[in-house]
Structure 1
Amino acid sequence: MTFIQFFEKPGCINGEKQKNILIEAGNDLECINILEHPWSREELAPFITEKEPSLIMNHTAPAIKKGEIVPENLQHDEAVTLMIENPILIKRPLIRVDGMSIQGFTDERLTPYLGAWDGKDDVITCPNLRSISCDERK
């Protein structure tokens, strides 16, 4: 059994699917609310270092969907500041396991922790994109 810290937005449909995959594979999860966690640059950095803002930001966040924030127009430091101020902007999940800090669920470093999951089910694309995403619900 491997201990995993799983930073999530509670109630996220895909987050629930991702957690179930990790749990079914025999991992022990500590689930942490990404929106309430007191983020700092130092803590966020290992998840997002050397990645462009368009790759580290949550494109279903209301401000991004409305065009108020355009990740492609931001410098990395600007994106980090915005994500710390408003964690809904952080692409989820963030996962800490065996000394690694991983952002997203498609990173190949997660493979040893996924058990029998074959990757055929889409646990990434928000099923609510056609209407109101979970990030827009109050």
Structure 2
Amino acid sequence: MAHIIFWEKPGCSGNRKQKEILQASGHTLEVRDLLTEKWSAARLCEFFGARPVREWFNPTHPQIKAGQFNPAAISAAEALDLMIRQPLYIVRPLLQVDNECLAGFDVAQVHNWIGLKLEAVGERDPKNCPCVVSTGEAG
């Protein structure tokens, strides 16, 4: 099983469920605060890899949910600058095992990466905060 550094927004119920799934799968966690970490553009890029910029963003951020901000309309450099100044824009959680990093909690991706006991996942997709309906739109 893996030892995971897990960056979360403290108090986030989605992050709580994700941590429960990881621990039920036998992984150990070192939990860190996403909002107080001193991020750099280079460090954040380690988590995002080749994913499109729009996938770097937290879909439950109030401005994104309200349609006031379109993550697909800015460059990678602009996105990183914004996330360094306002970490609530960063998709959660950020995960690190050894030197490998991942952003977000796509069950299949996390399972293929480190393994999950899929019975621990439950019915609600843990990728998103409970305030986002299953269609991906703000709820």
Whole-Å separation in 2 of the counterparts to 1:123 and 1:51: 19
Two-structure CA RMSD over aligned residues (Å)? 2.0
Q: Closer, same or farther in 2 for the Cα pair 1:116/1:59, shift >3 Å?
A: closer
Task: After TM superposition, give the deviation of residue 116 of structure 1 in Å.
Answer: 4.5
Q: Which residue of 1 aligns with 2:60?
A: 60
Q: Which residue of 2 aligns with 1:115?
A: 117
| Residue pair 2:107, 2:126 contacting (<8 A) in 1 also | no
Unaligned runs of 5+ in 1: 131-138
Aligned-pair identity (%):
35
Q: TM-score, normalised by structure 1?
A: 0.82
Further displaced range: 120-129 or 2-11: 120-129
Unaligned runs of 5+ in 2: 134-139
| Residue pair 2:63, 2:69 contacting (<8 A) in 1 also | yes
Q: Closer, same or farther in 2 for the Cα pair 1:109/1:72, shift >3 Å?
A: closer
Tell me the alpha carbon deviations over residues 45-95 of structure 1, each in whole angstroms, 9 at most, x when there is no partner.
111132222111112112222333211110111111111110000001110
| Residue pair 2:25, 2:120 contacting (<8 A) in 1 also | no
Task: After TM superposition, give the deviation of residue 19 of structure 1 in Å.
Answer: 0.2
Q: Does 1:72 align with 2:75?
A: no
Q: Which amino acid aligns with 2:129?
A: C
Whole-Å separation in 1 of the counterparts to 2:107 and 2:40: 23
Structure 1 SS opposite 2:129: coil
Q: Closer, same or farther in 2 for the Cα pair 1:119/1:109, shift >3 Å?
A: same
Q: Which amino acid aligns with 1:113?
A: G
Whole-Å separation in 1 of the counterparts to 2:13 and 2:27: 20
Q: How many residues align?
A: 130
Q: TM-score, normalised by structure 2?
A: 0.82
Which runs of structure 2 are paired with 1:12-31 in the superposition (5 Å)? 12-31=12-31
Whole-Å separation in 1 of the counterparts to 2:40 and 2:59: 21
Whole-Å separation in 1 of the counterparts to 2:26 and 2:132: 31
Task: After TM superposition, give the deviation of residue 117 of structure 1 in Å.
Answer: 3.6
Whole-Å separation in 1 of the counterparts to 2:78 and 2:34: 19
| Residue pair 1:27, 1:113 contacting (<8 A) in 2 also | no
Whole-Å separation in 2 of the counterparts to 1:117 and 1:106: 15
Task: After TM superposition, give the deviation of residue 118 of structure 1 in Å.
Answer: 6.2
Structure 2 SS opposite 1:10: coil
